[in-house]
Amino acid sequence: MGKKVLIVSPIAPQTGLFGGACRQPSVGTLTLGATLKNAGHDVTVLDECVMSRPVAEGDLDADWLCLSLISSSAARGYQIAQLFRKRSPKGRIAAGGVHPTFMPDEALQYADVVCRGEADTMIAELLGSGASGIVEGTPLADMDSLPLADYSLLAHADCIPFAGIVS
């Protein structure tokens, strides 16, 4: 039976490419979302760069919270993890991205499981396994094996000025 999964890409506190001026969602989170959707999960992607407001506790109704973190957004991601724990004490948190790859022990203070490296080939299995701790992702050998980014999973998609693709 599929899980209710929320993938969140937090905003960085500064303006610029990954901060408040950004209105383009991460294609990576939409691809991970498509992978999980294809595995039978109910997936929503929240990207604070796209939303007109920060993620709030009321947005965090899920079995799994998956955080996609870069170093400039990690502190905000950890705040979201704390909100999720408050709302869903039995929920599980996974953290991945560049920051957890290089700072896994830090990320593990806020997440049940931290994925170092690429999660594309193992995200569905990871959420079903009940794994905890630090797991090593498998390098992606063939990008053509990934599903297309699924923009239908993105909350507030009507706010984006254009859609990115990977070819």
Residue 14: per-residue pLDDT = 64
Asked if 153 and 160 count as a contact pair (C-beta separation under 8 A), the reply is: no
Condensed to tens digits (0 to 9), the pLDDT of residues 31-81 reads 899 999 999 999 999 988 887 788 999 999 999 999 999 999 999 999 999
The Cα angle at residue 28 between residues 146 and 124, in degrees rounded to 5: 55
pTM: 0.87
Asked if 147 and 30 count as a contact pair (C-beta separation under 8 A), the reply is: no
CATH topology of domain 4-159: Rossmann fold (3.40.50)
* Torsion region of 164: left, alpha or beta (phi above 0 gives left; psi -120 to 50 gives alpha): beta
d(Cα 87, Cα 99) in Å, to the nearest integer?
A: 25
Condensed to tens digits (0 to 9), the pLDDT of residues 127-160 reads 888 889 999 988 877 777 777 777 787 776 565 5
| Residue recorded with tokens 């209105």 | 23
Please count the other Cβ atoms lying within 10 Å of the Cβ belonging to residue 142: 7
Residue 161 has pLDDT above 70, yes or no: no
